Structure 1
Amino acid sequence: MKTLLDELTWRGLVEDLTPGLAERLTEGPITGYVGFDPTAPSLQIGNLVPLMLLAHLQRAGGKPLVVLGGGTGLIGDPSGKRAERPLLDASTIAEHVARQREQFARFLEFGPGPSDAELVDNAQWLTPLRLVDFLRGVGKHFPLSYMLQKESVKSRLEEGISYTEFSYMLLQAYDFLELYRSHRCELQLGGSDQWGNITAGRELVRRVEGVEVHGLCAPLLTTATGGKFGKSEEGGVWLDAEMTSPYKFHQFWMNVDDRDVASQLGIFVFRSQDEIASLMSEHAGDASRRIPHRALANEMTARVHGSDTADRVARASKILFGELEPREADAATWRLLAAELPTAVVDLSTPRSAVDLALLAGICKSKGEAKRLIAQRGLYLNAEAVTEDVSVGTDRLMDGGFLWLRRGKKTDAILVTSES
């Protein structure tokens, strides 16, 4: 395990760690955990940073524990939040837990072996707790002055923080104690916003059990433009296909800023330093091919949504980027694009003019506008420039009965026959 820190460091996944962790890793395998509060029915890509910490721990021979916050999720973590979040009821939390379970298996190997991942729900030990016993056994180890120094609390004092959220730190600390007792877990991992909770848990284990456990946190990711990582123009990017389509998921990674792509390859895929350097060298030679972006997008989509879906999404992306002839795409690829782009139904039992199709597709508002667009060679049908108001029949349909119209470089629409 001695190479784990080196691996995490070059990948940009280490911001802080507790004293003695490096020495402990030289002694052999370690069990580590990350907590995930199920406040939504799906993980977001922002959750992938701590999940990748667990994945690298497992690859180095350690045992990863995924702790779903069926208990702490009922309280709400104040870390990084400006205001109190609404409390979720127990049935909603339970539903979220059930939906998130399968998402972890796309990044970790679960099973009964010594380095296989294990999923536990902290509701198992938190919900049976008696308040008086908890205050005597846990609360007495946390001076108020100690808790007020933590950033997750300090940053909320002016706006106000309820005792419910104030107590979250104690519950997460108790998680570490329980996991040490039940699994001999010696390491908690997380984002830097969790550092206060991590060190609180470490302190509780030291006071109660008399042993030193450890913590490591990754930096909170921001983009080259200073924005928060994991947000698209439409909001959060989810792992659930019903909340963020595989196509939009793929496009998020394709649209990563050139200045961020090397670091995100290091963080989110298992490629070596040399492989990433090679991808970036190719990018320097021809940035228009977006080779590292495509590697990042394809690998992340395959891991989250499966290789077949990733292949279809990659083909659809290549069509829009002009890297694949429209005639080479199958009906499934066109159906995927039709689900993502503005779409209208067209009847081609009688041929239609290109002007009519531009209006039907919604990329022009009037016949005059469509005719001017054609004169300027700005209207494309199936990637071919329309030079005159041609008549379009069924012979122009793509596989499955689709037509692709584009205005300029970025305004796209799909027309589909009623039979498709």
Structure 2
Amino acid sequence: MNVFDILEERGFIQQTTHKEELRQLLENEKITFYIGFDPTADSLHVGHFVTIMAMRHMQMAGHRPIALMGGGTGMIGDPSGKTDMRKMMSIETINENVNCFKKQFSRFIDFDNDKAIIANNADWLMNLNYIELLREVGVHFSVNRMLTFECFKQRMEKGLSFLEFNYMIMQSYDFLELYRRYNCKLELGGNDQWSNILGGVELVRRLHGDTAFGMTFTLLANSEGQKMGKTVNGALWLDKNKTSPYEFYQYWRNVDDSDVKMCLSLLTFLPMDEVNHLSSLEGANINKAKEILAYEVTKIVHGQEDAIQAQTAAKAAFSGGAAKGSLPTTNITQTQLNQGIDIISLLVDLTKLAPSKGEARRLITQNGIKLEGKTISDIKFIITKDLFNQNNAFMIQKGKKVFHQINLTN
């Protein structure tokens, strides 16, 4: 089956240039393609994971991925989908984030024997001669047309800096450079990258007379159109030190019924027959589909061992049993305990289970917090040694589905 058809059947594809030509190209040739990742943090997050899964499908079909690190474009910041200008990062921070990305990619993509490439656009963007760039590249971009693109239009009211206005040219130049270096013929990205991708496709055609291609993917959003992957503690990261495998597992275990099919299609490799069967389950049975979804996604991101531990921990927490597995945990010392820890500080400062003191008070007064199965309704409650079990630990439960373990250390 053509990988184009696989991606289309699973719901990845939103827009393409030259659709039938691209489909034939992927059918008849093994091509090099790329996806760019600006290093805005020290970990990839679940929004990146959709494009990583697409890269996996493409590589499994014999095509060669380029994971392009935005060491250069990260200096500018992509205005796409943003209402305000991105915070400027130092070169040191950008380089550190790029190195973190590179380590994470090795878990998902096979780079052995030139099957895939990691490149960094800082290698060519940082040394560009501005006048030469304007003469070779800038002449092919119409300002009038650029201002009609959605990525710029939504910023016009608040103000669009000239710095950000150059981002499209930088990303287009990336495609040109990868075409020249690796005969890269296709750029993939999230649907918010459509305008930037078109710029690169047209630049290759204008300067080399060759047909380049672009394809955008569905942004991970729930049935109500809201972006998925946001938690109380922020983004859903692919780094287990930022989002534990248990928290990661629980996020997918608790998706809405209406989002099960989309998540199974985009974020797992289960055959579509099985996806259709699981997503057709109704009532309590749909929970089985959610457990499979959570396990499969966690296995891809964190490995089978962590996925099994997360699943075990989730079932133990749900049944009220011992919390064996990768439950999110916080360690407190005997000294901290002796100094006194109140319930508000525990929820806000130590465990981050509540984003603010006001939210912590609301949870407590509405009986949304339990310690070792006992509802806590006093906002002045103090944590004492009596709470800890024989293993020097106790469990916090927030609502019905969020569990967190506290360990007492020396």
For 1:210, the equivalent position in structure 2 comes to 209
Q: Give the Å deviation of 1:172.
A: 0.4
Q: Give the Å deviation of 1:309.
A: 2.0
Q: Kindly indicate whether residue 303 of structure 2 is the aligned counterpart of residue 303 of structure 1.
A: no
Distance 1:56 1:236 in 2: 25
For 2:85, the equivalent position in structure 1 comes to 84
Distance 2:328 2:162 in 1: 50
Q: Give 1:190-339 correspondences, 5 Å limit.
A: 190-281=189-280, 283-284=281-282, 286-287=284-285, 290-322=287-319, 326=321, 330=324, 333=325, 336-337=326-327, 339=329
Q: Is the 8 A contact 2:395 2:403 kept in 1?
A: yes
Q: Give the Å deviation of 1:411.
A: 7.9
Distance 1:201 1:408 in 2: 48
For 1:104, the equivalent position in structure 2 comes to 105
Q: Compute the TM-score of the two structures, normalised by the length of structure 2.
A: 0.81
How well do the aligned residues superpose, as a CA RMSD in angstroms?
A: 3.0
Distance 1:30 1:12 in 2: 22
For 1:145, the equivalent position in structure 2 comes to 144
Residue deviations 1:235-263 (CA, integer Å, cap 9, x gap):
21111222222221111111111110111
Q: Is the 8 A contact 1:21 1:214 kept in 2?
A: yes
Q: Give the 3-state SS of the residue equivalent to 2:86 in structure 1.
A: coil
Q: Give the 3-state SS of the residue equivalent to 1:35 in structure 2.
A: strand
Q: Give the Å deviation of 1:80.
A: 0.6
For 1:170, the equivalent position in structure 2 comes to 169
Q: Give the Å deviation of 1:177.
A: 0.5
Distance 1:337 1:97 in 2: 29
Quick one: structure 1 residues 415 and 218, their matched pair in 2 at CA, closer, same or farther if it must change by over 3 Å?
A: closer
Aligned AA (1:293): K
Q: Is the 8 A contact 2:329 2:405 kept in 1?
A: no
Quick one: structure 1 residues 6 and 162, their matched pair in 2 at CA, closer, same or farther if it must change by over 3 Å?
A: same
Residue deviations 1:85-134 (CA, integer Å, cap 9, x gap):
12111111001001111111222111224xx1211000011111111111
Q: Percent identity, aligned pairs only?
A: 40
Q: Is the 8 A contact 2:333 2:409 kept in 1?
A: no
Q: Is the 8 A contact 1:401 1:417 kept in 2?
A: yes
Aligned AA (1:284): E
For 1:63, the equivalent position in structure 2 comes to 64
Distance 1:66 1:319 in 2: 39
Q: Structure 1 runs of 4+ off > 4 angstroms? A: 342-345, 378-383, 400-419
Q: Is the 8 A contact 1:344 1:414 kept in 2?
A: no
Q: Is the 8 A contact 1:41 1:96 kept in 2?
A: yes
Distance 1:292 1:235 in 2: 26
Aligned AA (1:339): T
Q: Give the 3-state SS of the residue equivalent to 1:177 in structure 2.
A: helix
Is there any run of 5+ residues in structure 2 with no aligned partner, and where?
A: 335-342, 348-368, 375-385
Distance 2:407 2:217 in 1: 47
Quick one: structure 1 residues 291 and 182, their matched pair in 2 at CA, closer, same or farther if it must change by over 3 Å?
A: same
Larger Rg: 1
Q: Is the 8 A contact 1:382 1:403 kept in 2?
A: no
For 1:154, the equivalent position in structure 2 comes to 153
Q: Give the 3-state SS of the residue equivalent to 2:261 in structure 1.
A: helix
Q: Give the 3-state SS of the residue equivalent to 1:112 in structure 2.
A: helix
Quick one: structure 1 residues 413 and 218, their matched pair in 2 at CA, closer, same or farther if it must change by over 3 Å?
A: closer
Aligned AA (2:236): V
Q: Is the 8 A contact 1:103 1:304 kept in 2?
A: no
Residue deviations 1:337-373 (CA, integer Å, cap 9, x gap):
4716x9898xxxxxxxxxxxx9xx99xxxxxxxxxxx
Aligned residues: 366
Residue deviations 1:368-396 (CA, integer Å, cap 9, x gap):
xxxxxxxxxx999689xxxxxxxxxx9x9
Q: Give the Å deviation of 1:222.
A: 1.7
Residue deviations 1:194-244 (CA, integer Å, cap 9, x gap):
000101000000011110010110122321233212212332111122222
Q: Is the 8 A contact 1:326 1:382 kept in 2?
A: no
Distance 1:202 1:343 in 2: 55
Aligned AA (2:282): A
Residue deviations 1:386-410 (CA, integer Å, cap 9, x gap):
xxxxxxxx9x967x45555879956
Is there any run of 5+ residues in structure 1 with no aligned partner, and where?
A: 346-357, 363-377, 384-393
